Amino acid sequence: MATALQDWLFAARPRIEDWLRSLEREVPLFMSADIRNAGFKIASIDANLYPAGFNNLHESFHPLAIKQLTTALQHRGVTPGSRLLLIGEEHTRNLFYLENLFVLQTLLIRAGFGVTTTTAYELEGEIYQNGIAALTTAKGNPIHLLNPTQIKSLDYAAIVMNHDSSSGTPEWIQMAPIPVLPTWRAGWHTRSKARHFEHYRALMTELGGIIDVDPWFLVPLDAHIKGVDINDDSSRAEIASKAEQLLAQIQARYNEHNIKEKPFVFLKSDHGTYGMAMLSFDAASEITTINRKEKNKLFKGKSAVVVRDYLLQEGVPTVQRDGIFFAEQVVMLANNQFIGYFSRVNELKDARTSLNSTGMFFRQHTLAECDTPEIAVATLVTRIAGIALQREIEELERSASNSSGITQTA
């Protein structure tokens, strides 16, 4: 999928690589980013600090993932042979999530670590036998989850979080006397998409100066709305007003660069994940007239957490396809280095809507398929998103340190 922008970025890789390495002294343990390629624009539209896509990585990527996970943990003083406590989400009926957890557990074991897997909160119902919940993944693999009430933190060298803390973090993790990686302080109960994209935009502005590219081609415009109720008429009017301004800004950039596209925006939870609490709009007026079903979709996010803060984000259409269906890349990193990618494909959606919705499926790719300018550029963009995530983590850590005197590195 050759584009002038992609070719320019690919040609500038040596300069970009030097710049990235100067910034990657501290990076997240692992992360993923959703990359949209519109041809005229290539950008991360979301970044996940607790990725749930390890099961979507083709097995040919596993040695790479093992190497980078090992390096990332060693950088934090956790050496092979140590025991890790892996914490997963509680939605155990999602067999594909369990497959993700099984693969991550397997990668860590193959890296030489002892791994016990559990959940942040005790599972509901009489699911435990002798303190173990014995479950089966989407591919029929067995996974055993220890009851968290039986955990003794000092038995482990570190906690590895694959739990995004959307509804908060239990005290036993907060008070654990061992490293929590990535830090629980950057769960979705405190993370902000608006804050993340402030850091991402600053980095892209710096990069634009280095390689002489307008940073708008690498980052979506956005607007932050705080403390609103989507069910309230005045709140929707406020959101619509900001959407109208944002759409005008996008149109101005389209006119400046002679882009023959119709602007659109996404309204998404500022603290959200899993593609929940998100809709796209072509016109600001559509926001004031959304129906009850759409209001309900926007009102609550994961774990039924009520949404009060939103991010309006410039829509980046995708030109990527999987056969006849539209797709986008999901790039995964450990130690801010590439460990694989896969495609999110949707057989029901078009190039201008969220593909992380009904009709979605994932397409695995092999290591042999990733030696292309498209994947090289997507990886560079993801690494920048990873640095932005680290800066967000450090901002949250400083805030926590100022209030409690406790500092933790992710």
CB proximity list for 394: less than 8 A, separation 6 or greater: 26
The C-alpha atoms of residue 131 and residue 157 are separated, in whole angstroms, by 21
**Are 208 and 330 part of one and the same domain?**
yes
**Are 249 and 371 part of one and the same domain?**
no
**Are 163 and 216 part of one and the same domain?**
no
The per-residue b/e assignment along 367-398, b for 16 or more CB within 10 angstroms, e otherwise, is beebeebbbbbbbbbbbbbbbbbbbbbbbbbe
The C-alpha atoms of residue 131 and residue 144 are separated, in whole angstroms, by 10
Q: Can you give the pLDDT at residue 296?
A: 87
**Are 196 and 337 part of one and the same domain?**
yes
324 found inside a domain: yes
Tens of pLDDT, residues 294-330: 888 888 776 778 899 999 999 999 999 999 999 999 9
**Are 141 and 170 part of one and the same domain?**
yes
Angle between helices 373-404 and 193-211 (to 10 degrees): 130
The C-alpha atoms of residue 40 and residue 332 are separated, in whole angstroms, by 23
Query: How many structural domains are present in the chain?
Result: 3
Average pLDDT, the chain: 93
| Of the residues 296, 315, 334, the one at which a domain ends | 315
Quickly tell me which residue has 């994961």 as its tokens.
302
261 found inside a domain: yes
| Of the residues 315, 350, 369, the one at which a domain ends | 315
82 found inside a domain: yes
**Are 85 and 182 part of one and the same domain?**
yes
Tens of pLDDT, residues 171-207: 999 999 999 999 999 999 899 999 999 999 999 999 9
Burial class (CB in 10 A: 0-12, 13-18, 19+), 140: exposed
**Domain CATH for 241:** 3.30.1490
409 found inside a domain: no
User: Binning pLDDT at 50, 70 and 90, where does residue 2 land?
Assistant: very low
64 found inside a domain: yes
Burial class (CB in 10 A: 0-12, 13-18, 19+), 358: exposed
**Are 333 and 196 part of one and the same domain?**
yes
60 found inside a domain: yes
The C-alpha atoms of residue 318 and residue 68 are separated, in whole angstroms, by 30
User: Binning pLDDT at 50, 70 and 90, where does residue 406 land?
Assistant: very low
CB proximity list for 323: less than 8 A, separation 6 or greater: none
- The DSSP call for residue 166 is T
CB proximity list for 158: less than 8 A, separation 6 or greater: 73, 76, 78, 82, 84, 85, 178, 179, 180, 181
**Are 82 and 216 part of one and the same domain?**
no
C-beta atoms surrounding 48 within 10 Å: 22
Angle between helices 13-23 and 193-211 (to 10 degrees): 130
In this predicted structure, which of 4-13, 181-190, 244-253, 291-300 has the lowest mean pLDDT?
A: 291-300
Cα angle vertex 286, ends 280, 290, to 5°?
85
User: Binning pLDDT at 50, 70 and 90, where does residue 405 land?
Assistant: very low
**Are 227 and 307 part of one and the same domain?**
yes
| Of the residues 315, 330, 353, the one at which a domain ends | 315
Largest CA distance in the chain: 66
Tell me the pTM: 0.95
- Which domain does 369 fall in, by range? 1-48+191-220+317-386
User: Binning pLDDT at 50, 70 and 90, where does residue 275 land?
Assistant: low
The per-residue b/e assignment along 248-281, b for 16 or more CB within 10 angstroms, e otherwise, is ebbeebeeeeebebebbbbbbbbbbbbbbbbbbb
Distance of CA 37 to the CA centre of its chain: 17
**Domain CATH for 82:** 3.40.50.11280
Report which residue type is found at 223.
A
CB proximity list for 204: less than 8 A, separation 6 or greater: 215, 218, 219, 384
Q: Can you give the pLDDT at residue 272?
A: 73
Q: Can you give the pLDDT at residue 133?
A: 96
Mean pLDDT of 255-259: 96
Residue 100 vs residues 53, 56, 141, 366, 388: alpha-carbon distances, Å? 6, 8, 11, 17, 25
Report whether 31 contacts 51 (CB < 8 A). Answer: yes
Render 39-86 in DSSP notation, one character per residue: SS-EEEEEEESS---GGGS-GGGHHHHHHHHHHHHHHTT--TT-EEEE
Examine the pLDDT at 344 and tell me if it is beyond 50: yes
405 found inside a domain: no
210 found inside a domain: yes
**Are 14 and 68 part of one and the same domain?**
no
**Are 346 and 378 part of one and the same domain?**
yes
Instruction: Please give the backbone phi and psi of residue 342, each rounded to the nearest 5 degrees, phi first.
Output: -150, 170
Q: Can you give the pLDDT at residue 404?
A: 59
**Are 63 and 27 part of one and the same domain?**
no
